[in-house]
Amino acid sequence: MELIFSHIEHLSTTAYPGRPCSVVHTHGCPLTCIYCTAEDTGAGRAETQKLVELFEEGKELIDAVAIAGCEPLKQEASLELAAQLKEKGFDIKIHTTGYYPDVLEKVVDEGIADLVEIEIKAPLDTERYAMVTGKEDAAEMVFQSLEVLSSSQVPCRITATLAPPVFSHEDLPELVHALACYGLRDLKLRNHTGGDVKDPWVMHSYVEAPSQQRRCSMLHREVIG
């Protein structure tokens, strides 16, 4: 199966916690985040088996591969690559936006990831998340993905890119509370470095969404039954 990718990092010391790894950045994303700096151009194509052979050449240095984005779960070939690498003894990290919970559930069920990392793009309420990502259902997809991971044995890490004014330190208490509802506490923060972020609220009438704490409490009751 052919994988469409943007570029490959042959050696990274930061993409997989605590160990060197290679990173394949897949091409394409369903989201159109207003602060995104990903260069989703000049895509390459390769059969997954050829990529496995490429990574095997560096196995003296690395024994883990991160499959990242834009959004790897958009392509079925990402799952095939992960499965093939697992067969060769590599540990696999999947970095995802959480937009494809059904595909993520398949990843978990088939045991083809040793670590899943979900990147949170904005405060977790429906309207604000939609404004930042361009997808009205993006927040709900993230909630479903968090639920998939909370009921699995696969280690999970959450990353969040702070990009004021759309996502700032003031939003963190509600985010931490929401993640705690799913038993998720491994949160890594980073700062947006791509220049000024346009404020979408100036161009929209913003109606305050229901309290995230109330929303999360309802979800928590659903999760624990």
Q: Which domains does the chain have, with CATH numbers?
A: 2-224 (3.20.20.70)
pTM for this entry: 0.84
Res. 212: pLDDT tops 50: no
More confident residue, 211 or 163: 163
pLDDT for 164: 85
Res. 220: pLDDT tops 60: no
More confident residue, 131 or 36: 131
Res. 69: pLDDT tops 60: yes
Distances, alpha carbon 132 to alpha carbons 70, 123, 211, in Å: 16, 9, 19
Q: What percent of the chain has pLDDT over 90?
A: 71
Contact (Cβ atoms closer than 8 angstroms) between residue 76 and residue 42 = no
Per residue in 138-190, pLDDT (tens digit) is 999 999 999 999 999 999 999 998 888 888 899 999 999 999 999 998 999 98
Q: What single-letter DSSP state applies at residue 192?
A: -
pLDDT for 4: 96
